[in-house]
Amino acid sequence: MDHIKIFSPATVANVSCGYDVLGFCLDSVGDEMIIHKISEKGVKISKIDGYDLPYEIEKNVAGVSALAMYEALQPDCGFDIEIYKKIKPGSGIGSSSASAAGSVFGMNELLGRPLNKTELTKYALKGEALASQCEHADNLAPAIFGGFTLVRSVDPIDVLQLPTLGDLFATLIHPQIEIKTSESRAILPKNVALKDAITQWSNVGSLVHALHTNDYDILSKSLNDTIAEPHRKQLIPHFDSLKGEVIKAGALGCGISGSGPSIFALSHGEKMAKEVEKTMQNVYSKTEIPFYTFISKVNSQGIKIL
Amino acid sequence: MDHIKIFSPATVANVSCGYDVLGFCLDSVGDEMIIHKISEKGVKISKIDGYDLPYEIEKNVAGVSALAMYEALQPDCGFDIEIYKKIKPGSGIGSSSASAAGSVFGMNELLGRPLNKTELTKYALKGEALASQCEHADNLAPAIFGGFTLVRSVDPIDVLQLPTLGDLFATLIHPQIEIKTSESRAILPKNVALKDAITQWSNVGSLVHALHTNDYDILSKSLNDTIAEPHRKQLIPHFDSLKGEVIKAGALGCGISGSGPSIFALSHGEKMAKEVEKTMQNVYSKTEIPFYTFISKVNSQGIKIL
């Protein structure tokens, strides 16, 4: 095998109650990448389609992660990466993570899988760090492991792969406004009320329980965020009214995807996810803000070979 | 059936990472109670053995919970309660919860089980509130439901029953010092660092995952408390050295039971739990503080009919 084409999915980090630790993987939106094994040593990017991103390896998240893995493994070959970028950078659905994870996943396949998923996450983290100025894996882990993940630690990497409910669908809306991850992090207080933190860990525990017991009702009750959402929602116009309508329409829960501006909802079944999408469109159509929406099954596999 | 004899178990609240929400049920230590259905209306306590506790219904936790349930159901009979108190009040292993839960459980059995476990918890909470000046259910829930529990909410009562690992044993040491629950609560800050809270909810999530996947290794990694233990341990002499030795001996984890002063450890298998008990005895024998220790399987049933 001298080249491989892969789909590296968008992801939703935090999942309301799980700030900095939980995430899940989407299926209908993701970057495509073609990675070639070449005789010339080193890593290069020969094509970037879709968005204007740097070709210099050290400035490109897919390049940085690829280089970190390449230097560690020192294989007897080189790699040429083509990136067909479909996830808009800065949308809050793990655009940089998809790129960072895709290159190392593809190279690992071409080398005969010397690395496991935890090791891939370690190198992908180097690319993610370039994009977000800190090493966090709550988007990387679901992209690489699939389904729902809980990141226990990034140093060393410790990811728990959680089960996924069989009929769980996500609806996403991306209001076309810019929120910098750094701004979205800075808006959070360094200290939080103990009573709010207790509610949060109660919800994380019950969300994990819901995933293991296939319980949509408990999942729904767990999808609340007492920590980040109350601060971050002010960065997203019409968040409260959209969330209110989405819950009224029948979604299990609704929250900010990662650090925003995208908003996610989870629904039991595809039909409800489509209802929720219509609701989101109705709310945002009345505003001046451009947006797009999509629905996706939760992807239990993660990155796929096409 | 005109009377019933029950065993109402001791419990461990918080379980390191789950302050205010997690708890598990013990099997070898608990109160015994005999409850008689009598023709004379009302609730009375006719015998208290073991510790000097009030016979007045309104001042006794078992009486208060019994009365709350009695007034709600208004049955065509009365109840006479005998309490054989084996759990020392103030030891931190759910002494008041065992009494509060036992009376309502026994009455419910004698009435043909009109109430479910959630409803029993609601009335038991009234007794617990008398003892601790606040309605918390992290000891009541494991006593009534058995195994591990996660209390999502007390108003309304919302308890998740979590699975238990098959071969999980607890070792307890009760240093004979007095810590008031109010003092132990007052020592906690009203605000906590976000980064510590994140670690805590990561651990709660992974502990629930460990219980569902029967994974002793992940359970062990989850048994850490970044919130309460750093403050409360100063109330318990020799806590750090005892915990250090217990972990070195092979326990999965070790922490403060509820608000203390009892300390619990969890171990894989009875043999290790006994090793851990010896270790605890060795550490505390070198001090001037009287203590007792015991081991117990995790009780997946909760209150039992004898």
pLDDT at A299: 95
- Chain B nearest-CA residue for A204: B205
pLDDT at B134: 75
- Chain A nearest-CA residue for B20: A198
Whether residue B261 has a cis bond before it, omega within 30° of 0: yes
Q: For residue B208, list chain A residues with Cβ-Cβ distance below 8 A.
A: 205-206, 208-209, 212
Residues of chain A with CATH 3.30.230.10: 3-163
Residue A17 and residue A225 in contact, taking contact as beta carbons nearer than 8 Å: yes
Give the fold, CATH level 3, of A168-297: Alpha-Beta Plaits (3.30.70)
Task: Looking at the complex, report in whole angstroms how far the Cα of residue A158 sits from the nearest Cα belonging to chain B.
Answer: 10
> pTM value?
0.96
For the question of residue A128 being annotated catalytic, the response is yes
Q: Any idea which residues of B carry the catalytic annotation?
A: 128, 181
pLDDT in tens, B249-297: 999 999 999 999 999 999 999 999 999 999 999 999 999 999 999 999 9
- Chain B nearest-CA residue for A228: B194
pLDDT in tens, B40-60: 999 999 999 999 999 999 999
Instruction: Give me the phi and psi of B52, to 5 degrees please.
Output: -85, 95
Give the fold, CATH level 3, of A3-163: Ribosomal Protein S5; domain 2 (3.30.230)
Whether ipTM exceeds 0.85: yes
Residues of chain B with CATH 3.30.70.890: 168-297
Mutation test of the interface with chain B: which of A201, A208, A227, choosing the one with the most B Cβ atoms within 10 A?
Answer: A201
**Tens-of-pLDDT digits for all 306 residues of chain A?**
799 999 999 999 999 999 999 999 999 999 999 999 999 999 999 999 999 999 999 999 999 999 999 999 999 999 999 999 999 998 999 999 999 999 999 999 999 999 999 999 999 999 998 887 777 899 999 999 999 999 999 989 999 999 999 899 999 999 999 887 778 888 999 999 999 999 999 999 999 999 999 999 999 999 999 999 999 999 999 999 999 999 999 999 999 999 999 999 999 999 999 999 999 999 999 999 999 999 999 999 999 999
Complete DSSP assignment for chain B: --EEEEEEEEEEESTTT-TTTEEEEEEEEEEEEEEEEESS-EEEEEEEESS----SGGGSHHHHHHHHHHHHH--SSEEEEEEE--SPTTSSS-HHHHHHHHHHHHHHHHTT--S-HHHHHHHHHHHHHHHHSS---TTHHHHHH-SEEEEEEETTEEEEEE---TTEEEEEEEES----HHHHHHTS-SEEEHHHHHHHHHHHHHHHHHHHHT-HHHHHHH---SSSHHHHGGGSTTHHHHHHHHHHHT-SEEEE-TTSS-EEEEEESHHHHHHHHHHHHHHHHTSS--EEEEEEEB-SS-SEE-
Task: Looking at the complex, report in whole angstroms how far the Cα of residue B219 sits from the nearest Cα belonging to chain A.
Answer: 12
pLDDT in tens, B168-187: 999 999 999 988 777 888 89
pLDDT in tens, A218-256: 999 999 999 999 999 999 999 999 999 999 999 999 999
Q: Does B230 touch chain A (CB under 8 A)?
A: no
Task: Looking at the complex, report in whole angstroms how far the Cα of residue B185 sits from the nearest Cα belonging to chain A.
Answer: 12
pLDDT at A130: 87
